[in-house]
């Protein structure tokens, strides 16, 4: 059996499939994938690669709002990308990202993600660009600066759409519980 890739919205996944995805992510992130991280990856499109041993890779893209230079953007935000340890460096992360990028191209103004040190090379190789400006979030208490996100936030333009310009101001993301980005 060859590796198979399937995309599905969260509502289309069974409880067993969701539990399998959560288990993969818990293992891939060495136990550092909390409940809020999990909920951030739900409610959008999931890309899953299966092999003869089960789930080998996963990622999801969810909708977020971003304000920049007086404009509101619909952003396809990539979440919960993980590959089983025995299948890393075999192109599965790239297959997952290709599926998610197709969703971003078809449904959003641009893509965004916050990359770990381990994942950044994959995204850069796929044309994602490190944001060089300020990052903020609209919190319950007003706008807050997120300097820690300014070294890990990557953007990808959707087809025929330019990226926001750092010279025109900060990226202002919508608020969510846990890590905002």
pTM for the predicted model, two decimal places: 0.95
Q: pLDDT tens-digit profile of 127-170?
A: 999 999 999 999 999 999 999 999 999 999 877 888 999 999 99
Q: pLDDT tens-digit profile of 23-45?
A: 999 999 998 899 999 999 999 99
Q: What domains appear along the chain, each with residue ranges and CATH number?
A: 4-173 (3.40.630.30)
Phi, psi of 142 (to 5 degrees): 110, -170
């Amino acid at each position: 059996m060859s590796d198979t890739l399937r995309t599905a919205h969260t509502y289309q996944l069974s409880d067993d499939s969701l539990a399998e995805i959560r288990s993969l992510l818990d293992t891939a992130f060495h136990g550092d994938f909390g409940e809020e991280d999990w909920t951030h990856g739900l409610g959008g499109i999931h890309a899953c690669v299966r092999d003869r041993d089960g789930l080998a890779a996963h990622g999801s893209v969810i909708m977020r709002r971003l304000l920049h230079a007086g404009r509101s953007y619909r952003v396809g935000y990539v979440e919960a990308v993980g590959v089983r340890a025995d299948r890393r460096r075999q192109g599965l992360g790239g297959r997952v990202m290709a599926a998610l990028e197709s969703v971003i191209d078809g449904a959003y103004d641009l893509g965004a993600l916050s990359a770990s040190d381990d994942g950044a090379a994959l995204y850069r190789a796929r044309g994602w660009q490190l944001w060089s400006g300020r990052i903020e979030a609209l919190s319950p208490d007003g706008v807050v600066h997120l300097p820690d996100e300014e070294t890990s936030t990557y953007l990808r333009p959707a087809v025929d759409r330019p990226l926001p310009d750092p010279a025109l101001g900060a990226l202002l993301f919508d608020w969510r519980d846990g890590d905002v980005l």
